[in-house]
Structure 1
Amino acid sequence: MGNGKPRLRFIKPMEPVQVAEPPVSDDWLHEIKYDGFRTQLVLDWAGARAFSRHGHDWSKRYWPAIQAAEMLPASSFIIDGEMTALDADGRPNFHAMHSRIRWNAELLTYVTFDLLYLDGEDLRALPLVERKARLWKLVKPADGIIQYSVHVEGNGADFFAAVDKMGLEGMVSKRRESLYRGGKTEAWVKAKCWDIGEFELLGIRREPGRPPVALMARDGKYAGGAMINANLSIKERLWRRVEEARAKQPAGVPTAVVDGVEWVRPGIVARVKTLRGEAKLRHASMLDFREG
């Protein structure tokens, strides 16, 4: 304690649930889903510090954001946002995060999207639109390390189409009147965009009563599994190819996924639909294949 006051404490973040399509009614706000590390900036009488999604103190890693936070016109606050690595065109580049954290933390950008506490007042019981209005007043002009997540109201389908066209990971939709409650909530939802790309087919797992799964690699490294949602003629052609190209288990595949897999020799390239921005295949489906 200092000055007789306790320090502000980390608050469990509010987490969106994933949905297939964004909401379309007018009582939702829509923001770009920034691909980075969820971060909470806290300022009190002893200075600023940064917490990870799970409450770990990452202040030393994010020291430039800490310095910027202490310049904001407030004596205390708790800000929710995403620590990102933005390219020159403003797009989040998750692959650049680790190198910037280690070597160039001044090139990180903290994109703010909520304000939980300000100058002695707990704001979590206020509607989101009011919290964001106060956040903007705190961080404007928001053109340095600390920036502001601009939103649009309504027109979720159009916003999603624009996000997809820009090649971004997805979007987050939030009810205008939502209060801030830690943990998973249906008052915030996220919709992710899809990519279609080519992967190397490693093998097939066929189990009674379950859809067949194709195990994939990219650049020689295991990338995960994809449901085989191709039409019947493609499936039959694939089964024949698997029978002709049986092989031993390749290196680098996790032991948890190898049971019952029919491995194939290299040379089959699959076209796969998967969620954008994921390190491994997620909710993926194999659409077709060709000889590599």
Structure 2
Amino acid sequence: MHDPSEILFFAFDLLYVDGWDLRRLPFRERRWLLDPIVAGRTGAIRLSEEVEADGEEFYRVACAHGLEGIIAKHREKPYRSGRGDWWQKITCKRRDSFVIVGFEPSTVPGAIGRLLLAARRRGELVYVGGCGTGWTYAESVKLRELLEAIRTDSPAVNLKRKNAVFVEPVLVADAEYRAWTQDGKLRHPSFKGIRERADAGEIFILTNK
């Protein structure tokens, strides 16, 4: 659990002020009105930084620094709810390989609910989270059959889960994910394929913890 005092809210838009509806104003004017209200604050509410830069280069730098992505807004557009071409959320996506150390059964008979994944840190396998998306039902059934054949009573990682089924760490899952959490877990991983672990050096090595 995070300390509530560590939570920060970054304001980037202003829709109402002193009873006035600002939604018809262009974004640049709404930002201009927001600036004196929030700028310079050091408490829980702060002004998000506005960056004018080449979009592709800024996205590359954001991803290289481990950020989830960038938000691009059209400076001359009024506010509209929902998604549209006036603003874009562009998420960073990474893809690496992780050892499968177990799975959690699905509520659907014969299928996988989540894969339990691990990576190497200082030469030892450590649990980096579960992956529960990226496969069809048929693929999930085949994957479970494969993993059932290598079940073990000796988990490869220090993990206690009531309904977990542990397997020998001999298979590797390729997964796409957005970032690492502060406690060293994958954020929003999605399964992309499986292969035999031919070389332990190919497994992603944790460097942030």
TM-score norm. by structure 1 comes to: 0.45
Distance 2:163 2:172 in 1: 18
Q: What is the Cα deviation at residue 176 of structure 1?
A: 1.3
Please, which of 163, 171, 176 is the counterpart of residue 273 of structure 1? 176
Match of 2:77 in 1: 178
Distance 2:30 2:15 in 1: 7
1:51-70 mapped onto 2 (5 Å cutoff): none
Structure 1 contact 172–190 (Cα < 8 Å) conserved: yes
The total of aligned residue pairs comes to 160
Alpha-carbon displacement from aligned partner over 1:151-203 (angstroms, at most 9, x marks no partner): 22351101101101111111111111222222333322111112334434358
Pair 287,117 (structure 1): closer, same or farther in 2 beyond 3 Å: same
Structure 2 regions of 5+ residues with no counterpart? 104-111, 118-126, 137-141, 152-160, 181-185, 201-209
Aligned residues: percent identity?
Answer: 26
Q: What is the Cα deviation at residue 119 of structure 1?
A: 1.8
Q: What is the Cα deviation at residue 247 of structure 1?
A: 4.8
1:195-234 mapped onto 2 (5 Å cutoff): 195-201=94-100, 202=102, 216-218=115-117, 219=127, 222-226=130-134
Matched, 1:194 2:194: no
Please, which of 111, 114, 119 is the counterpart of residue 18 of structure 2? 119
Distance 2:77 2:41 in 1: 24
Please, which of 255, 270, 285 is the counterpart of residue 192 of structure 2? 285
Structure 2 contact 173–192 (Cα < 8 Å) conserved: no
Structure 1 regions of 5+ residues with no counterpart? 1-97, 204-212, 229-238, 254-262
Match of 1:138 in 2: 37
Distance 1:156 1:221 in 2: 31
Distance 2:31 2:193 in 1: 41
Give the superposed CA RMSD.
Answer: 3.7
Alpha-carbon displacement from aligned partner over 1:13-34 (angstroms, at most 9, x marks no partner): xxxxxxxxxxxxxxxxxxxxxx
